[in-house]
A and B are shown apart, each in its own frame.
Chain A
Amino acid sequence: MLDVPMIQTRGFRNSDGGFQVRLRLPYYRGVWTNLLEGVSLTVDGEEYAADTIGWTLAGTDYTLAELVGSDTARWPVDVPATLTVPRGEPLSIGFHTVAAELRLHMSYIPEELQPTIWSEERRLVITR
């Protein structure tokens, strides 16, 4: 089962050359990934732009451009996305404030109300 928040407790960790954070899709259905506009992150006040963040969906790695360019890739509502963020130094052991903004285009909502933006901030722990 996933966490109720968009930003998942599981998956926040240092990785080779950066860190990772996992999101669930807070929408009511899965989506074709060419409806995505991306996710931007802020960790401890440091911003990471949407187009610098790598995606992993169900074991497959993508860039944001690849997801937006694909006619077949999907982000299911019950499958979390792992975001991989390049960073010079690993995050320190202890608390970090993690904020995420997810932007998704909704065809059935008029253009002037685009995109739908979900935003959330959590305080998560790096253990090592």
Chain B
Amino acid sequence: MSAFLSIRNLSAAIRGGPRLLRAVSLDVEVGEVRGLVGESGAGKSMIGKAVLGILPRAVEVVAGEIWLDGVDLLRLRPAERRRRIGATAALIPQDPLTALNPSRRIGRQITDRLVDILGWRRGAAEARALELLNEVRVPEPERVMRAYPHELSGGMRQRVLIASAFAAEPKLIVADEPTTALDVTVQKQILRLIAQMQARHGTALLFVTHDLGVVSKVCGSLSVLYGGLVVEETSVRDFFRAPAHPYSAALLAATPKYTDPAAGLNPVPAAVIDAVRAEVAAADRNWPHG
């Protein structure tokens, strides 16, 4: 396996119910930023969750491989998988308001992985946390370390979460709609921060979003999903110049754009939806699990 993260034919389904992911394959190289794009129910966050081992209990992986740093995570025993994910990957979650434990101090929440899982000494972990808070430009980092989450603004909490994600120098970060809950001006700062941190640390980044605008700013390549199926996989430049799949093109056409009053807001044509649904159905015909 050459890529740092390599997902091979990953299929997931609700236990005894419908499929959510249909033989998804994708690679993320070290230093690459890959966007996962799609509408709700497309399965884009399921992929991120599968990689991090946090799928909802009702969802099970039915087939496929997830190679992270040369190891197939799905073949490891649960305890080993947990440790391995904790040491090599991290998550930047969606909602900064609920992603920090309200009853624990910020400092503890940044350092806990280093101390409890990776066995750092507390002093060293705290020094590292301070360093990171400085790096994500949190003012008065010493004070923030002792603060509780409700004392910080939304944007500040997201910075803390980014610092926390980079704390253990992970080689892969999954960002799950990290700016959806933020105002657009704050979103710009946070996106910029994520891009800078990613570039500086050379991390592989899996960026889950429904916003094509955001994708065009931070990602190098992207996968477009519909109904748990990757319908297009391409570089960002090619995608915006000439999307290959009709569904991708329709999605792009439906996206509003303030610079061009005529563009955007065109509903996805029914024919396109029918065609892509047919593709999904075709994928299911080859599925042995019924």
> A and B: real partners?
no
Residues of chain B at the chain A interface (Cβ within 8 Å)? none
